[in-house]
Structure 1
Amino acid sequence: MQMNDSQRIPASKEKVWALLNDPAVLKLCIPGCEALEMTSPTEMTATVVIKVGPVKASFGGKVTLSDLDPPNSYRISGEGSGGVAGFARGGATVRLEAESADVTVLHYEVDAQIGGKLAQLGSRLIDSTAKKLAGEFFTRFAAAAGGTPDAAPAEAGEKKGWIASLIS
């Protein structure tokens, strides 16, 4: 599954960077996140409960940050297991662009793989769930930043969605 999108966040690039690296903020923003702990400056563990169609599972996972270029970009990679429900693994490139002093455009490109019962549900259900979860994440993230998100103009052919598929 591949997705990419851009979101306008009502905050400076430095503030968005700080929020993206704050486990307490991320825990509040990630739908279904029950635990998120920073285990090193570039690693986190997470527990996320997610429901995709008829399948509901608790995923335990590990996330690693790499290619750090503060406050501009990083690569996030993760994998998680939900027992019989399946597994998810993937990564995303996140890039921040200052549109103005108090608006940042967050660009992301995701590549994720899923297996087990989740993979049997079909890509349309999984993609629509990922888009819904991404929307919830960005609504909460924008609120944490002090406003509401606006979708940046998408290039033709781009798909939307993302974060829960990385951490779940």
Structure 2
Amino acid sequence: MAMMLQGERTIPAPPAAVWERLLAPEVLRACIPGCEALELTDENVYSATVLIKVGPVKARFSGGVTLADLDAPRSCWLAGQGSGGVAGFAKGGARIDLEPAPEGTLLRYDATVEIGGKIVALGDRLFRSVVNNNVNAFFDAVAAGFGED
């Protein structure tokens, strides 16, 4: 099952400050919903453990997060993949673009998410709701560092 997401939000800080926040490992760890561990293993490559709850099912996914195509402070690609054992797998990526705006920075994202395995049996609608909530929670957490709700 795959889905695409797009969105934008204004963050009350200049692009350079938003860029720094997006690339800080401790910020990524705090902003990724359910992230239990995030460790730098190579330049811009992290190993991660994330607990995901979809309806009544909780699954712990272990995998990696990679930052690529870094064009400071304008854009980057954030990609992740993980295995949840019998629950299945999840992978996805997001292009993040930052533009100066009168109120600070306009952050735009264009993301894809794909899951497979037993977790898919929980249903498309439930899965889409969880993914949307997690993506919004990630960007809300990034913005919260600048006083945004």
Identical-pair percentage:
50
Pairwise CA RMSD of aligned residues?
1.4
Distance 2:91 2:135 in 1: 16
TM-score between both structures, scaled by the size of structure 1: 0.82
Structure 1 counterpart of 2:35, one-letter code: C
- Once the two structures are superposed, residues 51-88 of structure 1 have per-residue CA deviations (whole angstroms, 9 ceiling, x without a partner) of 00121011111112221111100112221011111101
Q: CA deviation at 1:138?
A: 2.5
Secondary structure at the counterpart of residue 66 of structure 2: strand
Q: CA deviation at 1:47?
A: 0.8
Aligned to 2:118: 117
Secondary structure at the counterpart of residue 126 of structure 2: helix
Secondary structure at the counterpart of residue 104 of structure 1: strand
Asked whether 1:23 is paired with 2:34, we answer: no
Aligned to 2:39: 37
Aligned to 1:106: 107
Q: CA deviation at 1:103?
A: 1.4
Distance 1:38 1:103 in 2: 29
Point out the more displaced range, 102-111 or 44-53: 102-111
User: RCO higher in 1 or 2 (8 Å CA, sep ≥ 6)?
Assistant: 1
Secondary structure at the counterpart of residue 138 of structure 2: helix
1:26–1:90 distance in 2 versus 1, CA, 3 Å = same
Aligned to 1:166: none
1:66–1:139 distance in 2 versus 1, CA, 3 Å = closer
Aligned to 2:48: 46
